[in-house]
Amino acid sequence: MISELCENFVIVVFLTEYSTPPGLIDLLGKLKKEGAVEDFIIAPFSGDILKSHLFMKSKIHDLKKYDFDFWLSTGEVHVQERYISDCILSDQCVSVCMSNNITYLFMYHESMVRKLLPEFQLPGEGETNRESILKRYLRKTMQGEFFVLARIALGQRVLTIYKKLRMVCDRFILPFFLVGRVFSPGPYDQITNFSSGRADALIFFDELEVEAHKRLLGTPNVYVAQYPSQGNCRCGLGSTNSTTILSPLSGFEQLNKISSEALSLFYRDFNIALLEANAKSIHLRVHPDERGEWPWYLRDYLVDRGMDVSVVSCERPIREIMCDYMGMAGFASAALRDARFSCEYAFVIGFEGVSKVFKNPKFVFANSEGISWIDKAGKYEDGIFVRKKYTSHGRQSVPGLLIELSKTKKKGV
């Protein structure tokens, strides 16, 4: 979006060292040299609390000099974001939060969303995939593992206390002593992990997400926009010589192995995808934060059962490579949404069965625009593996919406 925004704005890019893809720093340096951005700042990972606070304090004076007219952010709830909103921006600055990811509200608060949207047809009620604490307690006790369970419970108690102390230090003690402010959480910060409605406007890319957040936060200033990667498709009439499916790996980060159940579910659904799409091979795309060995463990399991499977890196963004594949199929990752709008012809399919990190994987994607599913039982609708043009809604682009918002907010409308 920067190439469009730089025609109307002087841009300063602020990023946090987290899930940083290879080559990003070089790209930002190139953009700065070309004049597309005025400057860029890479803040340390916010998990290193003291280092993060000292860094943010050191940048306040330099950033305030810009007297920003506009702030576009991926949220307003985290401490580094609060330093910007509370210590750097003026009261006249227009603030906009944009979420192109799948949202916390739909990921973790299904019952709340259903109450907010009673008149909407939503995906069926998800069955819980987690064993209740009581049932787990009884099972462990019957197995003679009471003391193991007791140690786990004690560890959880200690962890909870530690998290509370860390939060008090992060949001109250350190900012008070460093800048004379406290960053109290908003009423919906924990629920949305995005916004409690302090920003002048919020942008999403799905109508259900827009309506749910409007009702939760009690604000009309929530907009739906064209997905940022839309317009990158280079498939022409949709034909492709590719016989390979791309699969984004997620949900099991940092593990070296995954359960036999997960392996069998991956095998079942990949086998369906290969047969139905008449595909020959699968590329497993490693998650940017992956440090475990499970992608190769999964690859070996699938190869041993006769599949042509390779593990590939995530250096290039999906918007650049999606047209090189027949389609995408795999875990219910936010990458499915990116793939859908990066290529107009690729099929995009989520595996509900293996995506048990979510109570109801399909529900997480709200309208699931252009995304199809293999359900928990391995069933699926006819024709979902056929490459065909997906016509998305005619929505306003984010740069266009931002320019419009900057004008109307300045006029006080």
Please provide the distance, in angstroms rounded to a whole number, between the alpha carbons at the two ends of the chain. Answer: 25
Taking only Cα atoms into account, the Rg of the chain, rounded to an integer number of angstroms, comes to 23
> How far apart are alpha carbons 130 and 127 in whole angstroms?
9
Give pLDDT, residue 353: 97
Residue matched to tokens 């309506």 = 211
Give pLDDT, residue 45: 93
Taking alpha carbons only, the member of 71, 122, 125, 68 closest to residue 95 is 71
Beta strand pairing call for 244-248 and 222-224: unpaired
Give pLDDT, residue 315: 87
In sequence order, which residues have a C-beta less than 8 Å from that of residue 210 and are 6 or more positions away?
204, 222, 223, 224
Give pLDDT, residue 288: 87
Residue 282, Cβ density class (10 Å: 0-12 exposed, 13-18 middle, ≥19 buried): buried
Give pLDDT, residue 147: 53
> 294-304 and 260-277 helices cross at what angle (nearest 10)?
60
Give pLDDT, residue 370: 95
Beta strand pairing call for 281-285 and 244-248: parallel
User: In this structure, are residues 36 and 3 in contact, taking their beta carbons and an 8 Å threshold?
Assistant: yes
- Residues pairing with 247 in the sheet: 284
Which helix (H) or strand (E) element contains residue 203? strand 201-204
Taking alpha carbons only, the member of 33, 43, 34, 35 closest to residue 63 is 43
> What domains sit in the chain, N to C, each tagged with a CATH number?
2-104+191-230+394-411 (3.40.50), 244-374 (3.40.50.2000)
Give pLDDT, residue 154: 64
Low-confidence residues in the chain, pLDDT < 50: 126-144, 411, 413
Give pLDDT, residue 127: 43
Taking alpha carbons only, the member of 119, 200, 194, 142 closest to residue 413 is 200
The full DSSP string for 342-375 is: H-SS-EEEEETTT-TTSSSHHHHTTT-TT-EEE-
Question: pLDDT by residue (tens digit) across 303-314?
Answer: 999 999 999 999
Q: What is the pTM of this model?
A: 0.89
The full DSSP string for 252-314 is: -TT-S---HHHHHHHHHHHHHHHHHHT--EEEEEPPTT--SSHHHHHHHHHHHTT-EEEEE--
Give pLDDT, residue 239: 76
> How far apart are alpha carbons 361 and 291 in whole angstroms?
24
